[in-house]
């Protein structure tokens, strides 16, 4: 009974609670790290951007992020890009390498350049925020604390919604992916 109630609560709270509706279903502002544009590079995948300030006591977030990536992959949700953007502050820059070492190489950790505009400000984000984009690069959810504690199901559910539903309307990448998977299935079926 409690599990069902908890899931109902998650589904009720997720669409409104902890999200910024301003900018929802719009493409992110153009941000870059050096000469790299991570959001353009990840186009065609569901993209999860985590804003993290390196406080090594809290590096558990990155370990849980890897666990979440593995869990989603094991349940068939592939082509999800996880990105961590470190804080622009001086202390965070000094501890960047430590932060980088706490996460697998599958998840890029970007260090902001102090001479470029602050990405967190550009995204209207704060520490421990998660921004989840659909395959077309449109913002589906912007979650903040306490919804971003990875021991709660909110981030995972938001990723599943961005992955499985057309919350922001039809996406040409989604159609192409489904078409490609159909061709693979038919090809495999004909080979059998």
Domain boundaries, the chain: 38-166
Question: Taking each helix axis from N to C terminus, what angle separates 60-74 and 154-164, rounded to the nearest 10 degrees?
Answer: 40
Across 128-145, average pLDDT: 94
Q: In the predicted model, what is the mean pLDDT of the chain?
A: 79
Residue 8: its pLDDT value, please? 37
Per the structure block, which two tokens stand in for 31?
């941000």
Position with higher pLDDT, 71 vs 22? 71
Average pLDDT over every residue of 173-192: 52
Give me the mean pLDDT over the 84-93 stretch. Answer: 88
Q: Which is more confident, 162 or 181?
A: 162
Per-residue pLDDT, 173: 66
Flag whether pLDDT at 122 surpasses 50. yes
Residue count of the chain = 192
CATH superfamily of 38-166: Glutaredoxin (3.40.30.10)
DSSP output for the chain: -HHHHHHHHHHHHTTTTT---TTTTSPPP---BTTB-HHHHTTTSEEEEEEE---GGGTHHHHHHHHHHHHHHHTT---EEEEEEE--SHHHHHTHHHHHHTS-TTS-EEPPPTTSPPHHHHTT--TT-EEEE-TTS-EEEEE-TTTT-TTSSHHHHHHHHHHHS-TTS--HHHHHHHHHHHHHHHHHHHH-
> What global pTM score does this model have?
0.78
Q: What is the mean pLDDT of residues 46-53?
A: 92
19 versus 40: which is more confidently predicted? 40
**165-174: average pLDDT:** 80
* Residue 189 token pair: 């079926």
- Determine the average pLDDT of the residues in 163-177: 75
Average pLDDT of the segment spanning 16-42:
78
Tokens of 143: 């979650």
pLDDT band at 179 (very low <50, low <70, confident <90, very high): very low
Q: Report the C-alpha gap between 123 and 73 in whole angstroms.
A: 27
Q: Return the minimum-mean-pLDDT range out of 57-61, 140-144, 181-185.
A: 181-185
In the predicted model, what is the mean pLDDT of residues 82-89?
91
Task: Check pLDDT > 90 for residue 130.
Answer: yes
């Amino acid at each position: 009974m409690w599990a069902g109630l908890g899931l109902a609560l998650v589904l009720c709270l997720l669409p409104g609670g902890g999200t910024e509706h301003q900018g929802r279903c719009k493409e992110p502002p153009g941000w870059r790290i050096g000469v790299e544009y991570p959001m353009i590079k990840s186009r065609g995948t569901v993209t999860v951007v985590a804003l993290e300030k390196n406080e090594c006591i809290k590096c558990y977030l990155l370990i849980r992020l890897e666990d979440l990536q593995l869990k989603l992959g094991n349940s068939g949700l592939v082509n999800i890009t996880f990105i961590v953007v470190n804080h622009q502050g001086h202390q965070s820059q000094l501890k960047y390498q430590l932060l980088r070492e706490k996460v697998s190489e599958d998840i890029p950790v970007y260090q902001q350049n102090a001479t470029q505009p602050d990405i967190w400000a550009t995204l209207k984000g704060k520490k421990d925020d998660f921004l989840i984009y659909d395959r077309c690069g449109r913002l589906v959810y912007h979650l903040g604390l306490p919804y971003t504690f990875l021991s709660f199901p909110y981030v995972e559910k938001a990723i599943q919604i961005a992955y499985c539903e057309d919350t922001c309307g039809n996406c040409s990448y989604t159609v192409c992916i489904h078409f490609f998977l159909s061709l693979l299935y038919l090809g495999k079926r004909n080979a059998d």
